[in-house]
Amino acid sequence: MENLGLCTDLYELTMAQSYLEHGKTDKAVFSLFVRDLPEERNFLVSCGLETLLEALERFRFGDSDLKYLKSLGRFKDFFLDFLREYEFRGNLYAIPEGRIVFQKEPLVQIEGSLPEVQILETLVINIVHFQTVVASKAARIYLVSDGKVLVDFGFRRAHGLEAGIYAARACYLAGFAGTSNLEAGRRFGIPVFGTVAHSYIMVFPEEEEAFKAFAESFPKNAVFLLDTYDTVEAARKTVKLAKEGVPVIGVRLDSGDIESLSREVRRILDEAGLKDVKIIVSGGVDEYRIKTWISKGLPIDAFGVGTKFITSADAPYLDMAYKLVEYAGEPKVKTSPGKATFPYKRQVFRFYSGDLMDHDEVVRYGEPNGGVPLVREILRNGTLTEKLPSLEEIRETFMEDLRRIPERLRGLEKGTYEVIIK
């Protein structure tokens, strides 16, 4: 898929053709925002802008795309010619990646001729929605993890390969130490982690032999998976091997009663003087379990976080919309119940109380205000206004914002933050 022009919904193109037929080609502004946060989220982490900008470059219509559209029998030749020439030359305003954001704040605003910006709707929502969903889930997990190492093990249960790759980026941006996902490691320069699965243990006649073989192959990365047969017994075998000089840096528990097993395994390792051997826990890990385990003081050093993170299982979607807010200089609002929108291109100003965030104000773009502005101009006439930040810089931005959120937003209980629409 070289061109992404068909990565849209049919109605975007029917609307665009009709706009052109009726002279509706004045300047329009669309705003991407989340109406309300899910019950399970106290804040969101802005994510997906870099991918969106790459996708905008590829949002073009090639011969095979146009041939398909013609075959639908709905589109006129003048419109297919319009699509053939299409490339986004408008303006794009966004809250940078890694910022902590809230309900009703414009994450992305796109300005250009009405047909030009209308047909981007599906692409813009698809990319920013998903990445914001997973970055926000990752941040929630990071907040309760108390400095323990977090690694993304979710690739296999992501909703497709692409989802797995971008989720790995999103969680790294939001505090994870790295991922098991090699493609994400290569593409984004994220640290990669991983040792063995149960199948490895099972192909050796004896578990001990498997541990030994793995340590031979990877003496610097020898982490033994303990729960294939009997976890406690496997911990004892680890001790025996270590005494024989076999290198071991960690053990992994992937099932069973983590509370009793982690304590027992730690005790066995410590009694043998293996205090530096780390305990890694995986298998159904989420922020609720991590919080419980940490509150009980379990001796766990790192978590492999998979399925529940990568599908954002407790809140797999956001109520995110891309709405027309201005056309031909006039404000535009939708008034249907529960879905009301606010007109005009907007800036978000953040106000602090001491070091901590106090509230945000969303005002018409260009109006003066006393807070710290979050929205930046990213594209002017289709061209980047400044170099995008690196992933490491985005991670720093996130860490900085995270330090400044009020206490009531830091836990797993619902906390709210005031966003004033002016």
Contact between 213 and its own copies per CB under 8 A: yes
Among 85, 147, 244, 335, binds its own copies (CB under 8 A): 335
* Count of positions on this chain that bind its own copies (CB under 8 A): 102
Say how far apart CA 198 and CA 327 lie, in whole Å.
Answer: 59
Among 137, 266, 323, 395, binds its own copies (CB under 8 A): 323
Contact between 181 and its own copies per CB under 8 A: yes
Contact between 28 and its own copies per CB under 8 A: yes
- The least CB distance from residue 313 to its own copies, in Å, is 5
Two structure tokens written together for 172: 């790294």
Contact between 197 and its own copies per CB under 8 A: yes
- The least CB distance from residue 49 to its own copies, in Å, is 15
Span of 92-100, 140-148, 227-235, 381-389 interacting with its own copies by CB under 8 A: 227-235
Two structure tokens written together for 2: 């070289």
Contact between 269 and its own copies per CB under 8 A: no
Report how far apart, in Å, the C-alpha atoms of 16 and of each of 82, 118, 321 are: 10, 7, 18
Q: What angle do CA 31, 95, 99 make, to 5 degrees?
A: 135
CB 133 within 8 A of CB 58: no
Contact between 224 and its own copies per CB under 8 A: no
Q: Which is nearer to its own copies, 255 or 369 (CB)?
A: 255
Contact between 34 and its own copies per CB under 8 A: no
Contact between 296 and its own copies per CB under 8 A: no
Say how far apart CA 325 and CA 85 lie, in whole Å.
Answer: 26
3-state secondary structure of 38: coil
Q: Which is nearer to its own copies, 218 or 351 (CB)?
A: 218
Per CB under 8 A, which of residues 111..140 are in contact with its own copies?
114, 118, 121-123, 125-127, 129-130, 133
Q: Which is nearer to its own copies, 162 or 418 (CB)?
A: 162
Q: Which is nearer to its own copies, 273 or 316 (CB)?
A: 316
Q: Which is nearer to its own copies, 158 or 405 (CB)?
A: 158
Count of CA atoms in the C-beta half-sphere (13 A) of 2: 5
Among 35, 157, 289, 410, binds its own copies (CB under 8 A): 157
Say how far apart CA 63 and CA 222 lie, in whole Å.
Answer: 53
Span of 176-184, 267-275, 369-377, 408-416 interacting with its own copies by CB under 8 A: 176-184
Catalogue the long-range contacts made by 254-258 (C-beta closer than 8 Å, 24 or more residues apart). 254/198, 254/225, 254/227, 254/281, 254/282, 254/283, 254/304, 255/227, 255/283, 256/227, 256/231, 258/289, 258/293, 258/298, 258/300
Amino acid of residue 194: G
3-state secondary structure of 26: coil
Contacts of 148 (CB under 8 A, 6+ apart): 290, 294, 300, 301, 302, 303
Say how far apart CA 155 and CA 163 lie, in whole Å.
Answer: 8
Amino acid of residue 246: V
Contact between 4 and its own copies per CB under 8 A: yes
Contact between 162 and its own copies per CB under 8 A: yes
Among 149, 192, 272, 391, binds its own copies (CB under 8 A): 192
- The least CB distance from residue 45 to its own copies, in Å, is 16
DSSP state of 219: G
Contact between 354 and its own copies per CB under 8 A: no
Contact between 382 and its own copies per CB under 8 A: no
Q: Which is nearer to its own copies, 316 or 373 (CB)?
A: 316
Contact between 65 and its own copies per CB under 8 A: yes
Contact between 398 and its own copies per CB under 8 A: no
- The least CB distance from residue 307 to its own copies, in Å, is 5
H/E segment holding residue 20: helix 10-21
Question: What count of other Cβ atoms lies within 10 Å of the Cβ of residue 367?
Answer: 11
Two structure tokens written together for 226: 């303990």
Contact between 14 and its own copies per CB under 8 A: yes
Span of 162-170, 237-245, 384-392, 405-413 interacting with its own copies by CB under 8 A: 162-170
Contact between 17 and its own copies per CB under 8 A: yes
Among 53, 182, 232, 294, binds its own copies (CB under 8 A): 182
Two structure tokens written together for 211: 């541990």
